[in-house]
Amino acid sequence: MGTAVEDAARPAGRVLVVDDEKALAGMVASYLVRAGYDVTQAHTGPAALEAADAGAPDVVVLDLGLPGLDGVEVCRRIRASSECYVLMLTARGDEEDRLAGLATGADDYITKPFSVRELVARVQAVMRRPRTVAQPDGAAAPRVFGELEVDVPGRQVRVAGERVPLTRTEFDLLAALTQRPREAMSRRRLIDVVWDPAWVGDEHLVDVHIGHLRRKIGDDPAAPRYVETVRGVGYRMVAR
């Protein structure tokens, strides 16, 4: 166990801030440093990939409009080798780009212009997220729903014996739903469990991630085998 001095000196986490607006990136970095984070900056797509590879960040704050390589491609490449959290910065109204970023593995987004304090709060929220959804004692066995098998301790999902790669957020949503299979979980409840109770933003972010999850596990929302939409509430697992 570290001493109080060691604990105070230890950074809250490593954050990579990527934005071609150097003044904005510097301001965001200064607020994060003040909040106790070890912060690195990058201002182009290729530089972001180099910094992510060298620094192994816990969180990447990633602008979509980058020179050299756009943010969507940067996110895709980071996701190929890292489980870090990705918080996208998007221009207001750029829904297509935002959805593309979420599809490549971003965990959350915030639209410009934004409050830097809100961004810091979002970073703090994702850093509080557990590596897995908490399990009751004796729940280590895989959770099986027809051909769907969810190994929570191993963070692996298989459908008909074939492994299905999920992003961290997609896996955590599935883990939350399979932990309470008979319970209809609202978007807000899923945000509390998977993101953080302090998270603020558009709750339909859950719908986007559920949509990606369904496509990956081969689930048709019109005739669901696994994840069922509960109209006016949220989602639950189809009864076994």
pLDDT band, residue 125 (cuts 50/70/90): confident
11 and 91, same domain (yes or no): yes
116 and 147, same domain (yes or no): no
User: Is 136 part of any domain?
Assistant: no
By CB neighbour count within 10 A (0-12 exposed, 13-18 middle, 19+ buried), where does 189 fall? middle
Q: 172 Cβ partners below 8 Å, 6+ apart?
A: 129, 132, 133, 193, 194
What CATH number did the domain enclosing 21 receive? 3.40.50.2300
User: Is 106 part of any domain?
Assistant: yes
Q: What global pTM score does this model have?
A: 0.72
Mean pLDDT of the chain: 86
pLDDT band, residue 128 (cuts 50/70/90): confident
Does 4 have pLDDT greater than 70? Answer: no
Which residues span the domain enclosing 184?
Answer: 143-237
220 and 166, same domain (yes or no): yes
Pairwise CA distance, residues 145 & 15, whole Å: 37
User: Is 49 part of any domain?
Assistant: yes
103 and 163, same domain (yes or no): no
The model's pLDDT over 75-87, given as tens digits with 9 standing for 90+, comes to 989 988 888 889 9
Q: 152-156: long-range contacts (C-beta < 8 A, 24 or more apart)?
A: 152/178, 152/179
User: Is 132 part of any domain?
Assistant: no
| pLDDT reported for residue 177 | 95
Does 101 have pLDDT greater than 90? Answer: no
User: Is 137 part of any domain?
Assistant: no
Q: How many domains does the chain have?
A: 2
User: Is 224 part of any domain?
Assistant: yes
214-219 average pLDDT score: 95
161-171 average pLDDT score: 90
